[in-house]
A and B are shown apart, each in its own frame.
Chain A
Amino acid sequence: MEINEIYNKLKSVFGEGIGELKTDLPVRPFFFADASKIDAVALFLRDEESMQFDNLSCLSGVDYDKDNLAVVYHLCSYALGHQLVVKCLVPKSDPKIKSVSDVWAAAEWHEREAFDLVGMIFEGNPDLRRILLPEDWEGHPLRKDYKVPEFYNGMKIPY
């Protein structure tokens, strides 16, 4: 399906939960979805006959603007050969969002990475631990206001 058809279908099912479709940027067309509905949207995208997004190719965490983090879902369908990008804003003050790891198993480690580096909490992820940084690391280094610590376990970090 074309992106417009996919978008209209989602809009007709989820209404207000789906934001405006942005096609004029030099990236793949995307829209924002309401973070509280992302589990339902994800399940719909995977299971609906005309969607069949059977593959989550990437899930990334972004420090989006002053007040928000964002989670970006890149989806594609092997069955129907179409692609989709969905974003969700998560407020920095309370960075919680539902996990989609029960919809696409691939999401589990991607969510751990986003948690590790950007620091959103994925509710429902069965094993939300740090995945790349050491377990005793403090803070989330891809936040724009992150300050590199002076020392880690007695080792000086700055050059």
Chain B
Amino acid sequence: MGILNKLDNSVEQFESGNIIITSMDKLLNWSRLSSMWQMFFGLACCAIEMMATSASHYDLDRFGIIPRPSPRHVDIILISGTVTLKMATRIKRLYDEMPAPKYILSMGSCANCGGPYWEHGYHVLKGIDRIIPVDVYVPGCPPRPEALLEGLIKLQERIRNQSLAKHIA
């Protein structure tokens, strides 16, 4: 009974029958964190590590993360690499097209703060958080797949602690 394990001891199950009782928050959070569909795009060298993470060895699928081709389908966007100003305009637009709730994971030094282009990159946005709000930052140039997985697990934790009633900053 996957759901019973995931929703921990706040779930009650009736002796007989298929009825369980839990809180709305827990159910919503559980369903959100278990199928974080991902916007299907990569930006630079970091994207290679992201692809490695999606492939069979690290297997993103087991977190319910499936790349989708349209921003209308997705819950999370992995900003995997160098964000040029030209691309930033597009990312902002894709982000605006995603239905809420939406989450952003910034992967690698470039997306976090401009990375190697911080000083002489006239064309690079020095941190994706200048245009969209970031939930989790993964440092590294590039981060290894383990680090990206750690970031995604952090994001799951964040979603698990959300509440409809309280806003979590």
B40 at the interface (CB under 8 A from A): no
Q: Is the pair A153, B130 in contact by a Cβ cutoff of 8 Å?
A: no
Q: Is the pair B85, A153 in contact by a Cβ cutoff of 8 Å?
A: yes
Return the contact of B114 from the options A141, A148, A152, A159 (Cβ within 8 A): A159
Residues of B in contact, count (CB < 8 Å): 14
Q: Is the pair B123, A141 in contact by a Cβ cutoff of 8 Å?
A: yes
Q: Is the pair A141, B122 in contact by a Cβ cutoff of 8 Å?
A: yes
Q: Is the pair A155, B122 in contact by a Cβ cutoff of 8 Å?
A: no
Size category, A interface:
10 to 19
B15 at the interface (CB under 8 A from A): no
In the complex, A157 Cα to B123 Cα: how many Å? Answer: 8
Q: What 1/0 flags go to B114-158 for Cβ under 8 Å of A?
A: 100011001101100011000000000000000000000000000
| CB closest residue in chain B, given A157 | B122
A134 to chain B, nearest CB (A): 5
B51 to chain A, nearest CB (A): 24
Q: Is the pair B89, A153 in contact by a Cβ cutoff of 8 Å?
A: yes
In the complex, A36 Cα to B89 Cα: how many Å? Answer: 40
State whether A133 and B86 are in contact (beta carbons under 8 Å apart), knowing that A141-B123, A156-B130 are contacts in the complex.
yes
Q: What 1/0 flags go to A131-159 for Cβ under 8 Å of B?
A: 00110000001000010100011011111
Chain A residues with Cβ below 8 Å from B88 are 155
**Which of A141, A156, A157 has the largest number of chain B CB atoms within 10 A?**
A157
In the complex, A79 Cα to B131 Cα: how many Å? Answer: 52
In the complex, A158 Cα to B122 Cα: how many Å? Answer: 8
Chain B residues with Cβ below 8 Å from A157 are 85, 122, 125-126
Chain A residues with Cβ below 8 Å from B114 are 159
**Which of B86, B88, B130, B131 has the largest number of chain A CB atoms within 10 A?**
B86
Shortest 6 CB-CB contacts between residues of A and residues of B? A148-B122, A134-B86, A159-B126, A159-B118, A152-B85, A141-B122
Interface pairs (21), CB distance under 8 Å: A133-B123, A134-B85, A134-B86, A134-B89, A141-B123, A148-B122, A153-B85, A153-B89, A155-B85, A155-B88, A155-B125, A155-B130, A155-B131, A156-B130, A157-B126, A158-B126, A159-B113, A159-B114, A159-B118, A159-B119, A159-B126
